């Protein structure tokens, strides 16, 4: 009887430890390897970003849907088309709810619960998207064209 309790206790402890390790925030240390929007050459201007986003609208919509925030896709696209965004830098430790990127096989993927942990501040295009009286900040790192929700 004691050995049964010990085994059950050990299994329960293993489950708790595994669950907490899966819940850890992922550290994003470099940017530009798995780009959602393929950018060639120098860091693009805001006008170039609008053209690229229109070109990849289908992939971006798929990513927003996959992230669970599909209702933000249209307001996001309108903000870009109207040039309603700002250039800024994000400090180390900035948290992202999710980030859209393209895997090595070309599929659009979503990674959740990220923290910027690179060598310095991250230069981004920032978009304030308003939906149902809520404000969301969506960013696009300049070096790669991925899309992320910060708040």
- Cα–Cα distance, 148 to 151 (Å, whole number): 9
pLDDT above 60 (res 41): no
* Strand-pair partners of 89: 123
Q: Which whole-number Å values give the CA distances from 14 to 2, 5, 20, 104, in the listed order?
A: 18, 14, 10, 33
pLDDT above 60 (res 47): yes
Collapsing DSSP to helix, strand or coil, 92 comes out as coil
pLDDT at 20: 46
Tokens (6 digits) for 110: 């979503």
CB 90 within 8 A of CB 121: yes
Strand order of the β-sheet with 26-28 is 26-28, 108-116, 95-102, 147-149, 134-141, 122-131, 85-90
Q: pLDDT of 62-104, one tens digit each?
A: 999 999 999 999 988 887 777 677 889 999 999 999 999 888 8
pTM above 0.85, yes or no: no
pLDDT at 46: 64
Q: pLDDT of 116-151, one tens digit each?
A: 888 899 998 888 888 888 989 988 888 777 889 997
Of 19 and 103, the one with more pLDDT: 103
Say which residue the tokens 């859209």 belong to: 100
pLDDT at 112: 92
- Cα–Cα distance, 41 to 54 (Å, whole number): 19
- Cα–Cα distance, 132 to 106 (Å, whole number): 33
pLDDT at 21: 46
């Amino acid at each position: 009887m004691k050995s049964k309790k010990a085994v059950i206790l050990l299994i329960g402890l293993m489950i708790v430890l595994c669950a907490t390790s899966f819940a850890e925030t992922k550290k994003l240390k470099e940017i530009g390897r798995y780009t959602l929007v393929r950018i060639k050459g120098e860091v693009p201007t805001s006008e170039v970003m609008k053209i690229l986003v229109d070109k990849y609208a289908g992939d971006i919509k798929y990513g927003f849907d996959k992230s669970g925030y599909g209702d933000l896709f249209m307001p996001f696209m309108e903000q870009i088309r109207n040039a309603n965004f700002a250039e800024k830098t994000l400090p180390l430790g900035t948290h992202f709810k999710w980030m859209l990127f393209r895997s090595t096989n070309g599929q659009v993927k979503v990674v959740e619960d990220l923290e910027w942990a690179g060598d310095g501040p991250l230069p981004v295009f920032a978009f304030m998207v308003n939906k149902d009286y809520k404000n969301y900040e969506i960013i696009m790192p300049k070096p790669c064209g991925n899309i992320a929700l910060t708040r």
